[in-house]
Structure 1
Amino acid sequence: MLDTTDTHLQALLRRRKPGYSLEAPFYTDPAIFAADLDLIFGRHWIYVGVEPDVAEPGDAMVIDIGKTSVIIARTDDGEVRAFHNVCRHRGARLVEEYKTTVGNLVCRYHAWTYDFDGKLLFAEHMGKDFDTSCHGLKPVHIRSLEGLLFICLADAPPDDFDAMAARMAPYLAPHDLRNAKVVAESVIIEPGNWKLVMENNRECYHCAGNHPELTVPLFAYGFGFAPEELDEVGRLEARRYADLVETSHAQWESCGFPSRGVEHLDDMITGFRTERLPLDGAGESHTGDTRAACRKLLGSIDDPRHGALHFWTQPNSWHHFMSDHVVTFSVIPLDAEQSLLRTRWLVHKDAVEGVDYDVENLTSVWTATNAQDSALVGLCQEGARSPAYEPGPYSPHTEMLVEKFSNWYVGRMRALNAR
């Protein structure tokens, strides 16, 4: 049994070798998992959903992170609020369903009743001196970034969210996510530590041999390659792709779509990355035929050929914004060796199923890709359990963003574990 004291964790963090994967306990040790829940998921901004999840007043959604359950709800005046899913009477869970619509939040144990501002409205048999104002729901910090919802469980959340939001808002705004709707959602329990799920997402080194659907709309040179390994034809194709990116960025930005890369994956507490990239084939969407999956485009967009904007946030999300639809992904740790991946597909709120879009066509590429990635994560988790496992080197050409994720994680754990 490993020594799982803070001293052991600090030693593992100190000896982390740059450019290499993490040591096995980071993927397998329940004590380090507990530290991850506390220091990473308990003290950073965590992506949990979209405003269309709670589209109307009275809509509520429950998000569970470790032992913490959070209610996200829309108030009568249209604001989105978040509270701990714990009745202030004797602690019963208030909302049991993942999503619901109600007039007020009523605890079914003793009928204590709260409004969507968290105020206690009704508590029978508590005596004339009982002060309801002292027993409202405990709030949770929540922010919306152009319709993407982030919560922070800490008393004092990281204060750089505004800096990230200021950079990202112009990129996301044209897609008008607040006026979209969720038309499909999937949940996968991935057989691996949450960090393996994120590391897998942060590279496409594995894509060519494992993602036949995803590599139809994606260019081969979009996520890194080794220039010295290319022959003359390969170098020419890589140059053509680089020229296409530059030309596309200039064209899209002239139309009001910020496109050039912005990267702060390991030099900010609220780390993020974004860039709008061209798509192959018809160049319209992440679909099997590379054409738009929804006839009604998002926001005021009038041309489906505006590429795909990717947006990543540390520690747990990635997103693809296209002209016709948006796909968002959130990773929530379940235990040291299992993670929940929730994927949402959104289209314009006025789009009509069977007329403007077909759900299977909309979701097929990422449904297949998620299943393939889950299997790969499981292989890595099995390997991390082996006594033969030791940290392996990242490719400097195709896994540089995995390195940035690991740098961010180790840096945040060092900073917070030392306090």
Structure 2
Amino acid sequence: MLNKLPSSISALLDARANGHSLPAGLYVREDVFEADIDVFFHNHWICVGLDCDVPEPGDATVIDIGKTSLILLRDDDGEIRVLHNVCRHRGSRLLDPGKTIVSKLVCPYHTWTYELTGELRYAPHMGKDFDKECRSLKPVTFKSIGGLIYVCLSDNPPEDIAILEQAMTERLAPYDIRNAKVAFQTDVIEDGNWKLTMENNRECYHCSANHPELCVSFVDLDFGFDPETLSPEDREQAEEHFRLYEERTNAWESDGFPSAAVEQLADCATNFRTQRLIIAGAGESQTHDATAASSKLLGHMTRKDLGDTHLWGHNSWNHFMGDHAVVATVIPLSAGKTLVRTKWLVHKDAVEGVDYDLDKLTDVWVATTDQDADLVARSHAGTLDPAYQPGPYSRFSETNLDKFASWYIDRMRAHGY
């Protein structure tokens, strides 16, 4: 007879066995979803966008996270701002979701008007003694790390973001993504819990069977394998691959390109990993033939042989290559719906049809994202089944999932669950 789910979130956390996936309730229950939003999307640093989402003064975009709505914009002095999308009069939303261009932020309800810095400039019929100084829009704590915008909605943001900032500021500098251009964007809503989305991204156990396009350039061995199950020929190939890794990493770093793995996956608040990965085949880019999609390289890059600088956090994954970058952010919509927003970046002066072909630029990760959406939906459907029981992670190919699940449990408990 199947056991009933524990009634409290705390009991669900206690029920998780080391080395195993999470109890079903942590994936499917709405009360857990609300707790996740509070803990991981309000009290931790999350990636929400890019400097180049708002390239010119007056450019603005709205990002909704649970009940919270944020405005990312560039003010008249060219500075990035992140503001709460809540009028200080009676709380009306100022801007609708999506991108827009504004000269002022004007509330559509009663025309309270704010500068792009958030200062209240006009509030009709409030009396001569009304103090506008204390009614500016509420700012959001944020950091631009190499052009990636991280926000924290807590009054006490985790300080260990400094480790990510130190690692990525130098690594991202040559790509100059602050001044890149978004060539294409997709929004895919996956029918699954956000943790399943992140788990799926943190392993390549499934890659060879499900991602033929990606596996032209991406080496699934990079994220673990069982050496005892390999044939002698495959084992020899794997050993050669990792010998080449050591050689390439040393060469890249001697040329001034930090490449070795840096990770903060346990006993921390800010969860991330970065490493410069080898690109297979032609070795240039994550495209269908592993050659560069853009002849105009990103930022200050002069080489196409510098691999893939990958970076993941608990709501994002990124791949930075010589010719382009792929940036994905994850926003939970409900216990069983997750938005995956993917952007392809090129040099700001690159011209479609001249410097790059859009299909070649995007086809690998468009296909991969659609394939992953199907896999996540299958996983979520399984966790809803009464027959679901947490299964063991592979100690060769899924160690990062075990670390993620353990980190999730630790952070939930740290916030009182």
TM-score (structure 2 length as normaliser): 0.97
Aligned to 1:99: 99
- For 2:164 and 2:223, the matched residues in 1 are separated by 23
Match of 2:119 in 1: 119
Task: State the partner residue of 1:384.
Answer: 383
Per the TM alignment, residue 78 of structure 1 is displaced from its structure 2 partner at its CA by 2.0
Deviations 1:309-366 (A, max 9, x none): 11011x2011000011010111100001010000000000011111100111100000
Helix, strand or coil at the partner of 1:221 = helix
Q: Does structure 2 conserve the Cα–Cα contact (< 8 Å) formed by 1:4 and 1:31?
A: no
Deviation at 1:231, TM superposition (A): 1.8
In structure 2, distance between residues paired with 1:266 and 1:356? 42
Amino acid of the structure 2 residue aligned with 1:397: F
Q: In the TM superposition, what are the counterparts of 1:80-99 in structure 2 within 5 Å?
A: 80-99=80-99
Q: Which runs of 5+ in 1 are unaligned?
A: none
- 2:71–2:84 contact (8 Å) kept in structure 1: yes
Deviation at 1:219, TM superposition (A): 2.1
Extract unaligned runs of 5+ from structure 2.
none
Check the 8 A contact 1:21/1:394 in 2, yes or no.
yes
CA distance in structure 2 between the aligned counterparts of 1:220 and 1:36, rounded to whole angstroms: 30
The aligned residue for residue 273 of structure 2 is 273
- Distance, in Å, in 1 between the alignment partners of 2:164 and 2:282 is 32
Equivalent runs, 1:29-68 vs 2, <5 Å = 29-68=29-68
Instruction: State the one-letter code of the partner of 1:79.
Output: E
Spell out, residue by residue over 1:72-117, the C-alpha distance to the aligned partner (whole angstroms, 9 max, x if none). Answer: 1111222211111011111111011411111110111111110111
After TM superposition, give the deviation of residue 11 of structure 1 in Å: 1.5
Q: Which amino acid aligns with 1:28?
A: V
Q: SS state of the match for residue 151, structure 2?
A: strand
**Corresponding residue for 1:414?**
413
Partner of residue 299, structure 2: 299
CA distance in 2, matches of 1:239, 1:3: 45
- The total of aligned residue pairs comes to 415
Shift of 1:160: 1.4
> Is this contact kept in 2: 1:61–1:72, CA < 8 A?
yes
Please give the residue correspondences for 1:236-255 in structure 2 after superposition, counting only pairs within 5 Å: 236-255=236-255
Residue matched to 1:318: 317
Aligned to 2:171: 171
Q: Give 1:94's aligned amino acid.
A: L
Whole-angstrom CA distance in 2 between matches of 1:33 and 1:284: 40
1:164 shift after superposition = 1.8
SS of residue paired to 1:159 = coil
2:52 is paired with a residue whose SS is helix
Residues 180 and 298 of structure 1 are in contact (CA less than 8 Å); yes or no, is this contact kept in structure 2?
Answer: yes
Q: Which amino acid aligns with 1:252?
A: W
Q: Distance in 1 between matches of 2:105 and 2:162?
A: 31
Per-residue CA deviations over 1:45-86 (Å, capped at 9, x if unaligned) read 111111000111111110000011011111122221111101
Aligned counterparts, 1:309-348, within 5 A: 309-313=309-313, 315-348=314-347
Give the deviation of 1:14 after TM superposition: 2.0
| TM-score, structure 1 normalization | 0.97
Determine the C-alpha separation between the residues in 2 that align with 1:76 and 1:373.
40
Please give the secondary structure, in 2, of the residue aligned with 1:137: coil
1:118 aligns to what SS in structure 2? coil
Residue 4 and residue 226 in structure 1: after superposition, are their counterparts in 2 closer, same or farther (change >3 A)? closer
The answer on whether the counterparts of 1:39 and 1:417 sit within 8 Å (CA) in structure 2 is no
- Could you list the runs of 4 or more consecutive aligned residues of structure 1 that deviate by over 4 angstroms after TM superposition? 2-5
Match in the other structure for 2:72: 72
Amino acid at match of 1:378: A
Question: Where does residue 155 of structure 1 map in the other structure?
Answer: 155
How big is the shift at 1:4? 8.1
Counterpart contact for 1:296–1:348, Cα < 8 Å:
yes
SS state of the match for residue 151, structure 1? strand
Counterpart residue type for residue 395 of structure 2: P
SS where residue 70 of structure 2 aligns? strand
